Structure 1
């Protein structure tokens, strides 16, 4: 017989959070007639001191992120329009595919939190009829519509009757075409999404200096119905498609991503035991609790919470077979929620050894333990930045509500990312360090149920990504999925296809 879930939740309050879409972006800073300059250097890298930003040559550290020397403290969202795409196949047989590509691309751009995507009805009159060559585009009309850049696309054919997708990025003020690496790609109904992901990454590199995370997924725990048990689910970031990974009469919580394709690990309550599973297969089955696991950056070790010796402690397991490698904590308090530093040499974790849950850091051998949130009365759910010294966590701020904070491990500097309404819990970084996913309530809808949201690294923009009426918790972000398909340029970037006719951009 399963125990009451609220009893299990008492343990899981300390547990680690591991780690799109119909979204409305909040806020737009764009003044017509004022040039928004394109970033030419790496932007938004995490920092704790001015020296961390010296690569930007005059950049400065603000709110834990490097800013360019000319960057306003309030980062603008680039206003981008996706024009109707054109079917230029000789027989016009790809109209449905063509328009679905435009719709999908528009949806992909929004959750990047770098673009304010104009609605289709905000496009200038006649936009659907204008061409995709520079001389055929009414740039002044696009400027009046508020677009800094406009994206156009065509689906045509190449010899062999294969379909080809051509994408064009134009800067409206200059009337200039900006070539990107994956502007031209062979396409079909099966690979359309992956082709767009490639191009969106190119776009983000152009504007920000780094690729995006559109190929990633977010795992989570959810109670689909008020009386149901918690299950593990998955959201595809590029499409917002949401599916359940588990579907059982048991309790499944605390998902994380294990090394390998589609490997999701989670804590499952089965027949009176709390074990760690990978895709329904038992991985850690020691007596009592097995929960809150995270793999080291190299995949060789797993940090996990076990209570095999009665007390709740943090252990390292062999990352392949689950055998115990070492015990890291030996304290009468509760120690849980381990998260690795980017180099794998340190771990952050939660302990109530000072009387209340706080965030601690130690070496991977268990030495040099220190508290990094000494002023916090209830701090849990740490997640270490994928290549920085920042740890994001949630802290109780009153009335049982939580907000998100970051702490710089080296300096101890704390920054608050959210400030109501409602609660914000279980944060997890994206693999590129730009975003944080979390579970929250109070942003519309049922205040008793938590939904999933993402925010940028400084907490300025928040968007909802979950799609059902369930109660969500403990999201985890997957690594970036690298394409196993090599890119083969079809022609030089300046050459395009119109039907079977080759044209050259000018």
Structure 2
């Protein structure tokens, strides 16, 4: 099977006020060597214009880089709900997905789904859901998660959201979308830069830095109602927000005492900031460990930019990275096992990952201007920003570096972050 595939998904996005933003293109540039062949039958449509569950499911599994999809009705018999096992085996199919969408009163639908092991001709998993018609895309993502887990034994990353910044026509827009680029909304649009978006632990708020007052200020914005508040508007620079695991505090980098230092502020913007440590160096880019015990951050205290770990209980600081003279932008997996960061290799800035238990480092990417790594909720995919042919794009890479894809559209894409 081809290890390099291109999947162009035209996602005509309805944007809020501002420039007209173009469709997003998702391009697979690397995949698993031995992909699982999955036949997906038609689910049917309950109403004109509704989401095509089979199409969404096909796109999801294709974009993972681990499945090869067959959409061939002749592999099914009857009402397309039963595999034709002879034809399935002759086509070297490993698994079959069948399903049906049935209309119900009050704009609801019933979605039935079954996954079959084609080798053993037996059902592996199945369910039936009753949901509003508008929720069909979400159900399709859920089916993709079920298929991924059943066939690979590990969670997928189809149902989450991402945030990122788009610069186009001299304006900046902080966007939120599904992982596949659908359901896009604007959090903020501004003629001034927007940087460092960070999701709250519950996924309902985003902290970010805005230069709309011609200086960096940290805001927190609630996604459900658009309300926002300034949580760090102190003298000098306010930057690099990072949420505590309980969502009550945010660590920021402030220059109120000249050099950049780390402070903890209240997530509601109340009270005075609390300085976490004292140094004469530049400390920035903090990120909490999931258990709340540590803060990883970037500092030049050793003479070059490196990543350190600060223990809140003891106040002790430990250097984490030693390979090379430039390691910045730490991102932690939710299970605490992996540290992703930007590592300089012969002048190129690439995404690397360290297994914290062994301190072994692997460089995952081959592009030259990578930045802002962020783990998916399943801890197996890293989202980041890079530049391709002079344009800012988003990209993902699997934890082993084998599965890669790019997400592009008109304008420069930057500052991505994956939701919890």
Q: If the length of structure 2 is used for normalisation, what is the TM-score? A: 0.84
In 1: Cα distance, 2:310 partner to 2:370 partner: 26
Structure 1 residue matching 2:211: 3-state secondary structure: strand
Cα distance change, pair 213–421 in 1 and its aligned pair in 2 (3 A): closer
The change in CA–CA distance for 1:105 and 1:284 in structure 2 (over 3 A counts) is same
Q: String of CA shifts for 1:380-437, please: whole Å, max 9, x gaps.
A: 11111111232100112134x211112233432222212x244322211112212100
Shift, 1:254, TM fit: 0.8
For residues 287 and 177 of structure 2, the distance between their equivalents in structure 1, rounded to whole angstroms, comes to: 22
Does structure 2 retain, via aligned residues, the 8 Å contact 1:28–1:116? no
In structure 2, the residue matched to 1:412 is 359
Match of 2:28 in 1: 24
CA contact (8 A) 1:84 1:127 kept: no
Unaligned runs of 5+ in 2: 1-23, 222-227
Q: Tell me the residue number matched to 1:222.
A: 166
2:149 is paired with a residue of what secondary structure?
Answer: helix
> What corresponds to 2:311 in structure 1?
363
SS in 2 for 1:196: helix
Residues 155 and 248 (structure 1), Cα distance of their counterparts in 2 relative to 1, 3 Å cut: same
For residues 141 and 397 of structure 1, do their structure 2 counterparts lie closer, same or farther at Cα, with a shift above 3 Å needed?
same
The answer for the alignment partner of 1:253 in structure 2 is 195
Greater RCO, 1 or 2 (C-alpha within 8 Å, sep 6+): 1
Secondary structure at 1:108 match in 2: helix
| Residues 85 and 421 of structure 1: CA distance in aligned 2, closer, same or farther (over 3 Å) | same
Q: Which runs of 5+ in 1 are unaligned?
A: 1-19, 31-76, 88-92, 480-506
Distance 1:233 1:422 in 2: 25
Cα distance in 1 between the residues matched to 2:212 and 2:32 = 49
**By how many angstroms is 1:297 displaced?**
1.2
Taking the aligned partners of 1:147 and 1:388, their CA distance within structure 2 comes to 37
Structure 2 partner of 1:314: 262
- Per the alignment, in what secondary structure is the counterpart of residue 273 of structure 1? coil
Taking the aligned partners of 2:248 and 2:107, their CA distance within structure 1 comes to: 47
CA separation in 2, counterparts of 1:270 and 1:296? 26
> How many Å apart are 1:203 and its aligned residue?
2.5
Counterpart contact for 2:309–2:320, Cα < 8 Å: yes
Deviations 1:309-364 (A, max 9, x none): 11100111223335345312322221100011121101111011122211111112
Match for 1:196 among 122, 128, 140? 140
State the Cα deviation string for residues 226-285 of structure 1 (Å, max 9, x = none): xx1433122211454444322122211111112555311110113332110122431211
Larger Rg over CA atoms = 1
1:209 Cα deviation (Å)?
Answer: 4.1
Equivalent-residue separation in structure 2 for 1:28 and 1:411 (angstroms): 26
Query: Does structure 2 retain, via aligned residues, the 8 Å contact 1:81–1:117?
Result: yes
CA distance in 2, matches of 1:223, 1:172: 47
Measured in 1, the distance between the counterparts of 2:48 and 2:125 equals: 25
Query: Judging changes above 3 Å, is the alpha-carbon distance between structure 1 residues 204 and 440 closer, same or farther for their aligned structure 2 residues?
Result: same
Alpha-carbon deviation of 1:187? 3.7
Shift of 1:289: 1.0
RMSD after superposition: 2.7
Contact 2:218 2:238 in 1 (8 A): yes
How do 1:373-412 and structure 2 match up within 5 A? Answer: 373-399=321-347, 401-412=348-359
CA contact (8 A) 2:231 2:267 kept: no
- For residues 293 and 307 of structure 1, what CA distance do their matches in structure 2 show? 14
Query: Moved runs in structure 1, 4+ residues, more than 6 A?
Result: 158-161
Cα 1:145–1:322, aligned 2, differ >3 Å: closer, same or farther? farther
Q: Is the 8 A contact 2:77 2:84 kept in 1?
A: no
Distance 1:241 1:191, change over 3 A: closer
Return the match for 1:178 from 124, 133, 145: 124
Deviation at 1:192, TM superposition (A): 1.0
Shift in alpha-carbon separation, 1:238–1:189, aligned structure 2, 3 A:
farther
Among 366, 378, 397, the alignment partner of 1:432 is 378
Find 2:150's aligned residue among 190, 206, 214.
Answer: 206
| Cα 1:116/1:344, change in 2 over 3 Å | farther
The alignment's TM-score, normalised by the length of structure 1, stands at 0.71
Distance (Å, rounded) in 1 between the aligned partners of 2:360 and 2:107: 59
Report what 2:8 is aligned to: none
Taking structure 1 as reference, are residues 408 and 101 closer, same or farther at Cα in structure 2, changes over 3 Å only? Answer: closer
Q: How does 1:452-491 map to 2 (within 5 A)?
A: 452-466=394-408, 468-479=409-420
- Structure number with higher strand proportion: 2
CA displacement at 1:149 relative to structure 2: 0.9
Q: Distance in 1 between matches of 2:308 and 2:234?
A: 25
- Shift in Å at residue 301 of structure 1? 2.1
